Amino acid sequence: MNRNLWLLAICQGLFLTNNVTFIAINGLVGLNLAPLGWMATLPVMGYVVGGALSTGIVARTQKRFGRKTSFQLGLAVAVASALLCCYAAYSRNFWLLVTATVVAGYYNANAQLYRFAAAELALPAFREKAISLVMAGGLIGAIAGPNLAAGTRTLTTVPFAGAYLALAAVALLAMGLLFFIQFPPLPAKESVSGGRPLSEIMRQPVFIVAAAASALGFGVMNLLMAATPIAMQVCGLPFSDAALVLEWHVIGMFAPGFFTGHLIKRFGTLPIMAVGLMLNVACVLVALTGVELHQFLIALFLLGLGWNFLFTGATTLALTAYRPEEKDKAQGALNFCVFAVLALSSLASGVLVTTQGWTLLNLGSLLPLGLTGVALAWLGLRQRRPQAT
């Protein structure tokens, strides 16, 4: 593993610091500012809607300017949007807060490509481990995000405004680190071909399952994670407990990154994804047993573990669905699928947890998990069929 991968892993960690802090505070700030309670998670939804709207722009930027310039542009947007969120909190302007998180989605769409860039910084035989290592960088966010949210909650007279200021500083730090990463150069224009049409790439069973598992797995994770701080507040638990639960959730998301790549290499992509799916189901079962601190903590930790196995596996699977010259449009399409489902789950989390409660929210998440299981079984059967004949 080279220096570029370690630096990219740190940038991933700083990106997750932004995401975890957003998850920890945007729903609560939204709950405080929203005209109606069910709108509380609209700022969370805005972040992923902005990401979905930005995927096409990001794909074109990556193709024209390369990884480094595009990633730096994303971080510049992160600084500006964090400052805009801070101003929205000070002015108590809910719709400005939602707008700011939509703008921040451009950074989200950029940084979601770190995991694909990792595969380009390693030899082909080590792609799984490179993706896994960069994903493991999210451990920085696991520790820094919740503690940043809790530590800056009362930094100013306006609750959580200080957290937005801190996130602007985090993005500036990431910009400095990214300067030292050497990405592969862009291919000469005369050697670039468009490859196959995107519709042809997306019709492949491998692409369909990779996109479905990424989107549905991420959607369920976001559905439950975004609702957790609100659910815990409704249950009378202090914000410090919510920060602790989110910390262990994100540890579960990224700590396995140090060995998930090894497991995929040894046992195969689909079996590891199946394990991730079972861990997500276990999360729901634990969450249905009660609403004490330890139940929230165990459920969200299992949710994080399941997401890591499912998402890292889906990313690895996606690498087999496109050629190098097709990567920008294929990765953009994959991320659009993820962001579209995330947007729906972000809105649903606020609506369901404030109107239907934590129990029904968890029961509803079993449907997308079941669909993911069907997709994995379908691809597994297709891959075995030629061997049987």
CATH of residue 297's domain is 1.20.1250.20
Q: What is the pLDDT of residue 43?
A: 86
Q: Which of 150-179 are b and which e, b meaning 16 or more Cβ less than 10 Å from the residue's Cβ?
A: bebbeebebbbbbbbbbbbebbeebbebbe
- The confidence band for 98, taking pLDDT boundaries of 50, 70 and 90, is very high
Nearest to 377 by CA among 301, 303, 296, 278: 278
132 lies in some domain:
yes
254 lies in some domain:
yes
193 lies in some domain:
no
First-to-last C-alpha distance (Å) of the chain: 40
As a whole number, mean pLDDT of residues 133-158 equals 79
The one-letter code for the residue type at 233 is: Q
8 lies in some domain:
yes
Percent with pLDDT over 90 in the chain: 43
Q: Which contiguous run of DSSP H or E holds residue 292?
A: none
Higher pLDDT, 81 or 47: 81
Q: What is the pLDDT of residue 1?
A: 52
Q: What is the pLDDT of residue 159?
A: 78
Question: What average pLDDT is seen over the chain?
Answer: 87
As a whole number, mean pLDDT of residues 204-228 equals 91
Q: Please, are residues 285 and 307 in contact by the beta-carbon 8 Å criterion?
A: no
What residue numbers bound the domain in which 249 lies?
Answer: 3-182+198-388
Q: Which contiguous run of DSSP H or E holds residue 151?
A: helix 139-151
Nearest to 373 by CA among 212, 252, 220: 212
Q: What is the pLDDT of residue 231?
A: 87
Q: What is the pLDDT of residue 244?
A: 87
Q: Please, are residues 101 and 81 in contact by the beta-carbon 8 Å criterion?
A: yes
Q: How many domains does the chain have?
A: 1
> pLDDT of 268-281, one tens digit each?
999 999 999 999 99
- The confidence band for 143, taking pLDDT boundaries of 50, 70 and 90, is confident
As a whole number, mean pLDDT of residues 19-34 equals 81
285 lies in some domain:
yes
* pLDDT at 388 exceeding the cut of 50: no
240 lies in some domain:
yes
92 lies in some domain:
yes
187 lies in some domain:
no
As a whole number, mean pLDDT of residues 212-216 equals 94
